[in-house]
């Protein structure tokens, strides 16, 4: 997500999945969907009764906003009764001693003290000091990527940047931590806060867990295989029960120059996916990103990284127990037995869905002890069965084929080569797993599968029923008895995206969907405190409409009735939806406005609409005019 080069054009997973077309027919027909899909998907009916984990959930208040229409223009739209505030833009100062942003006078030192580029994941972390938790907190925001043609005068190619321009790009990646307060109807950045800081690709970090210290992680900078540097390629993330934030490293292969087929990690890099290597000029100027000089440096990337927003002295930790792959995010759930469960999607075509179950248990009175919970536990991968079950296969050294005979000599090798380990365990090849989130009320796990145009019609299965899948779909996973430690769950199709009026789309929604309620390419998602689902998209341009946010109930008669809530500007993708605890504000990142155009000739100048400014990725805050809950 967030990069125009489409990093998922080439799959690196082996094509070993069997075809389940006849079993799919049997499964869907018993839910009354098959004939509708075969006929073109004319608003097929999702069951109206709560499914499995939703059975004990109290009905949520109905969403009562006036749905906005599909369309395309150069601003953000929300329903009447709601207001949009542009809170932070690329280049905005995070400290009181910084001048206003000047795109003609950029330098790395200044960018390290400013809001980064292409904001993605957003976490609102309230202060628990007795004040209104909807009015004061820390925003933790990922900066996934940069786009040189929109950042610099002359619109240079990403591969032709000077070293000073590369320095600015590097400083614009990573994470921003900034204190905000809501006063007199507006959110305001606290430029004098001691919490404000940037985490960039150059910030000191540490590797922890089973791979830390392994010889494969030793580089010129990290002679011990433990020291590391920074984070970049950050997509979505998660929040832990002990108040830290997890940021997910995704398309990290873009940043390295050199031939990944050579050197000691050629097999790892082949399985990680060679497409897109060398899309940035960093390796021309820095040995760190040049495979000829640092052949093992890429193994320091592709992890889940833990950051403590409340403690500026905390060194970011790369939690290797959660595996190395193209992480979209990491949703953390506290299981009934006190263990921590993390769900992760590997965002590439034909890749997998993972679960991590901690060995230790959460202690609400021992925050320091909780900081090690993600270093030891069981990583597993999902195997979806046509009968509606999903089996979690443990990725544990010595288990099944994960032995020296297949090149695994320790758990460090398993997590470093997590994709290959998942191949051997027979995981199900999915249609680009994006965000995986747990409904806080029902315990259902919702999975966004954005699309997969490369899936052949002869390679479909029950859980990926369309080939090619141009529009994506949403699944739910239901742990038995609400126990997320169980080795086997149930799964259901929640919806199949697409235009239900187009016979060839095969779209499946609630039968009462409006003409503006459908979408393409589900991407990120979030739940409000009532357990209602909010879905962002990244691909509606294929239908000539803007990307946006759609909301729906997840239980009762209106389950899966999606409604259009927010529309993004031209070329932009909304991402990282995040609510304040009381649902009075929805934060949303607007990524890459004006994508496909240039600094000198932009297709839009959102959000400033100033001839001196290029389009700028920005974080917006949506509130209700009456101060009430978002959506009703």
**Out of 129-133, 179-183, 575-579, least confident range:** 129-133
Average pLDDT over residues 421-448: 97
Phi (first) and psi of residue 530, to 5 degrees: -95, 5
Q: pLDDT tens digits, residue range 587-632?
A: 999 999 999 999 999 999 999 999 999 999 999 999 999 999 999 8
Q: How far apart, in Å, do the first and last CA atoms of the chain sit?
A: 30
Is pLDDT of 146 > 90?
yes
Average pLDDT over residues 463-490: 97
193 token code pair: 């806060």
Model confidence at 308, in pLDDT bands (50, 70, 90)? very high
Length of the chain: 632
- The closest alpha carbon to 564, from 85, 77, 69, belongs to 69
Model confidence at 102, in pLDDT bands (50, 70, 90)? very high
**Confidence at residue 130, expressed as pLDDT on a 0 to 100 scale:** 67
Model confidence at 19, in pLDDT bands (50, 70, 90)? very low
**What residues does 480 pair with on adjacent strands?**
none
The residues, any chain, with a CB within 8 Å of residue 551's CB and separated by 6 or more, are 63, 532, 533, 534, 535, 562, 563, 565, 631
Looking at the chain, the whole-number percentage of residues with pLDDT higher than 70 is 91
Largest Cα span, the chain: 66
**Confidence at residue 23, expressed as pLDDT on a 0 to 100 scale:** 34
- Say if residues 432 and 411 touch (Cβ distance below 8 Å): no
**Confidence at residue 129, expressed as pLDDT on a 0 to 100 scale:** 75
The torsion region of residue 338 among left (phi > 0), alpha (psi -120 to 50) and beta comes to left
5 token code pair: 């080069």
Average pLDDT over residues 148-173: 96
Model confidence at 60, in pLDDT bands (50, 70, 90)? confident
Average pLDDT over residues 302-313: 97
Average pLDDT over residues 139-152: 98
Q: So where are the chain's domains?
A: 21-624
Looking at the chain, the whole-number percentage of residues with pLDDT higher than 90 is 88
**What residues does 573 pair with on adjacent strands?**
591
pTM assigned to the model? 0.93
**Confidence at residue 123, expressed as pLDDT on a 0 to 100 scale:** 98
- Say if residues 361 and 338 touch (Cβ distance below 8 Å): yes
Is pLDDT of 542 > 70?
yes
**Confidence at residue 3, expressed as pLDDT on a 0 to 100 scale:** 54
Average pLDDT over residues 114-132: 92
**Out of 26-40, 258-272, 535-549, least confident range:** 26-40
Q: pLDDT tens digits, residue range 213-254?
A: 999 999 999 999 999 999 999 999 999 999 999 999 999 999
- Say if residues 78 and 566 touch (Cβ distance below 8 Å): yes
231 token code pair: 């984070």
**Confidence at residue 274, expressed as pLDDT on a 0 to 100 scale:** 75
- Mean of the per-residue pLDDT values of the chain: 91
Is pLDDT of 37 > 60?
no
Model confidence at 132, in pLDDT bands (50, 70, 90)? confident
Q: Greater confidence, 113 or 129?
A: 113
**Confidence at residue 103, expressed as pLDDT on a 0 to 100 scale:** 98
Q: pLDDT tens digits, residue range 350-408?
A: 999 999 999 999 999 999 999 999 999 999 999 999 999 999 999 999 999 999 999 99
């Amino acid at each position: 997500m967030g990069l125009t080069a489409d990093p998922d054009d080439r799959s690196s997973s082996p094509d070993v999945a069997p075809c389940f077309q006849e079993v799919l027919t049997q499964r869907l027909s018993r839910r009354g969907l098959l004939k509708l899909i075969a006929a073109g998907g004319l608003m097929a009916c999702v069951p109206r009764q709560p499914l499995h984990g939703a059975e004990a959930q109290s009905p949520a208040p109905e969403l009562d906003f006036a749905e906005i229409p599909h369309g395309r223009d150069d601003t953000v739209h929300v329903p009447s009764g709601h207001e949009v505030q542009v809170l932070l833009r690329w280049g905005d100062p995070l400290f009181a001693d910084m001048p206003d942003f000047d795109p003609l006078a950029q330098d790395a030192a200044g960018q390290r003290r400013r809001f980064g580029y292409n904001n993605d994941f957003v976490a609102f972390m309230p202060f628990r000091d007795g004040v209104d938790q909807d009015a004061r907190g820390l925003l933790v925001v990922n900066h996934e990527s940069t786009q040189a043609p929109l950042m610099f005068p002359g619109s240079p190619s990403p591969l032709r940047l000077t070293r000073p321009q590369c320095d600015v790009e590097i400083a614009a990646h990573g994470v921003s931590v900034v204190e905000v307060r809501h006063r007199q109807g507006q959110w305001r950045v606290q430029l004098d806060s001691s919490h404000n800081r940037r985490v960039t690709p150059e910030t000191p970090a540490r590797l922890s867990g089973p791979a830390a210290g392994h010889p494969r992680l030793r580089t010129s900078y990290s002679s011990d295989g433990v020291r590391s540097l920074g984070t970049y390629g950050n997509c979505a993330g998660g929040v832990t029960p002990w108040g830290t934030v997890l940021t997910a490293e995704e398309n990290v292969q873009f940043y390295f120059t050199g031939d990944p087929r050579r050197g000691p990690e050629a097999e790892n890099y082949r399985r990680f996916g060679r497409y897109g290597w060398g899309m940035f000029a960093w390796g021309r100027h820095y040995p760190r990103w040049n495979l000829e000089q640092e052949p093992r440096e890429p193994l320091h990337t592709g992890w889940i990284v833990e950051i403590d927003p409340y403690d500026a002295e905390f060194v970011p930790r790369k939690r290797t127990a959660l595996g190395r792959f193209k992480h979209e995010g990491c949703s953390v759930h506290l299981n009934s037995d006190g263990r921590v469960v993390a769900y992760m999607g590997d965002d590439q075509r034909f890749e997998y869905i993972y679960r991590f179950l901690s060995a230790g248990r959460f202690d609400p009175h021992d925050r320091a002890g909780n900081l090690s919970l993600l270093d030891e536990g069981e990583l597993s991968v999902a195997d979806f069965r046509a009968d509606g079950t999903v089996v979690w296969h443990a990725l544990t050294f010595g288990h099944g084929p994960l032995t020296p005979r297949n090149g695994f000599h320790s758990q460090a090798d398993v997590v470093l080569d997590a994709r290959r380990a998942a191949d051997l365990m027979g995981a199900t090849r999915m249609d680009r797993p994006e965000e995986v989130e747990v409904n806080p009320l029902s315990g259902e796990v919702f999975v966004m599968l954005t699309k997969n145009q490369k899936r052949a019609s002869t390679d479909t299965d029950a859980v990926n029923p369309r080939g090619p899948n141009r529009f994506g779909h949403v699944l739910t996973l239901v742990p038995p008895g609400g126990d997320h430690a169980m080795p086997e769950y149930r799964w259901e199709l929640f919806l199949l995206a697409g235009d239900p009026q187009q016979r060839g789309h095969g779209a499946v929604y609630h039968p009462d969907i409006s003409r503006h309620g459908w979408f393409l390419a589900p991407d990120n998602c979030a739940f409000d405190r009532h357990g209602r689902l909010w879905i962002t998209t990244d691909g509606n341009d294929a239908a000539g409409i803007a990307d946006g946010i759609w909301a729906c109930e997840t239980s009762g008669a209106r389950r899966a009735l999606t409604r259009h809530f927010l529309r993004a500007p031209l070329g932009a993708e909304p991402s990282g939806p995040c609510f304040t605890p009381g649902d009075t504000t929805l934060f949303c990142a607007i990524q890459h406005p004006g994508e496909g155009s240039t600094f000198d000739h932009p297709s839009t100048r959102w959000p400033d609409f100033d001839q001196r400014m290029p389009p700028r990725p920005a974080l917006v805050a949506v509130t209700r005019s009456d101060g009430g809950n978002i959506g009703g």
